[in-house]
A = this chain, B = another copy of it.
Amino acid sequence: MWINQVCTECQLTKKAVEYYEKQGLISPEVGGNGYREYGEKEISTLQEIAVLRKLGVGISDIRTILASTNKAAALGKLEYLMELSIQKASAQQACLRRLAESYDIAAAREYISAGIDELFTIKEKLVHAFPGTYGMYLSIHFGPFLNERIDSSDKEEAYSRIVDYLDHVGNLNLPRELGEFLENCFAEMHKTDMEKMNSAMQSALDNVDEYIADNKGILEEYIQVRTSDEYKETPAYKMQQLLLAFQRSSGYYDIFLPNLKILSKSYCEYMKKLAMANEVFMERYPQTKGLIT
């Protein structure tokens, strides 16, 4: 099949197809006359590309998806990023509306610096900084704390430190096995699952005693597994140690979390609650010492 027919079948332009070839997404055979012959394989790839492009997926992400065995995870990540950009656009739209009503540039500056850009930036960078969907998990986890204003120079500094940290982490190449593990670990988990997890965690923290009472059986079982010697032989345990070590060395505990506490009052309160809950927990189950971070 030659290019013109390919274009009609895949709803693409010649230039687009040509570009995808240059990007190495397809590699049709070239005949003696220089004409390209597109086979079924190319067609289906191109159809896939066409769909993804129309959904706003960029070439490099498409490359990832085409090569990926776990497309759901990659797509989930992209969907989450899209949601972030939609939220940002909505905030921008709201600001535009206010400007249309009364053209007050100073007020708009206030409104914008109140967080249109910066807080979304952190959420986005979180997604990219860590491999697989782990970054997305963190973004969803910390997202609820990232809705406050940056209204002091302290917070501005904290913000730029966090951004630097995230860029730094994104450029690190963490141990290969850890990377692969993280890519698989959150693979089946979807955005909504992550959100549910978080709200469940929140409500558990709000009434620790009740939570412990309600889930006594499960908890004790879990603790037994986690404190058992067999668990320390599992890959999961090793990976967890690897992850911990990585985060420690990258500055997760020394840079990221402390600055997040400066940036977000609500996160600060969350941490207090968490610490209290931890105390209650340790009192009840002293054997879990050192288990929870």
Q: Which residues on A are within 8 Å of B, measured CB to CB?
A: 11, 44, 47-48, 50-51, 54-57, 71-72, 75-76, 78-79, 82-83, 85-86, 89-90, 92-93, 95-97, 99-101, 103, 105, 108-109, 112-113, 116-117, 190
Contact = CB atoms under 8 A, between A and B. Distances in A.
Contact of A56 (B56, B89, B105): B89
Q: Is the interface of A mostly helix, strand, loop or mixed?
A: helix
Given A56-B89, A105-B48, A99 B75 contact: yes
A82 B96 contact: yes
A125 B76 CA distance: 32
A54 to B, nearest CB: 5
A113 B10 CA distance: 12
Contact of A89 (B57, B85, B92): B85
20 contacts: A47-B105, A47-B109, A48-B105, A50-B109, A51-B99, A51-B105, A54-B112, A55-B99, A56-B89, A57-B96, A71-B99, A71-B100, A75-B99, A75-B100, A75-B103, A79-B96, A79-B97, A86-B86, A86-B90, A89-B89
A108 B99 CA distance: 38
Q: Which of A50, A75, A100 has the most CB of B within 10 A?
A: A100
B89 A82 contact: yes
A103 B54 CA distance: 15
A103 B72 contact: yes
A71 B96 CA distance: 11
Closest 7 CB pairs of A and B: A75-B100, A79-B96, A82-B93, A55-B92, A51-B108, A76-B100, A72-B100
Q: Which of A47, A97, A105, A109 has the most CB of B within 10 A?
A: A97
A130 B71 CA distance: 43
Contacts of A82: 89, 92-93, 96
Contacts of A99: 51, 55, 71, 75
A44 B79 CA distance: 38
Given A89-B89, A105-B48, A55 B96 contact: yes
Contacts of A72: 100-101, 103
A76 B100 CA distance: 6
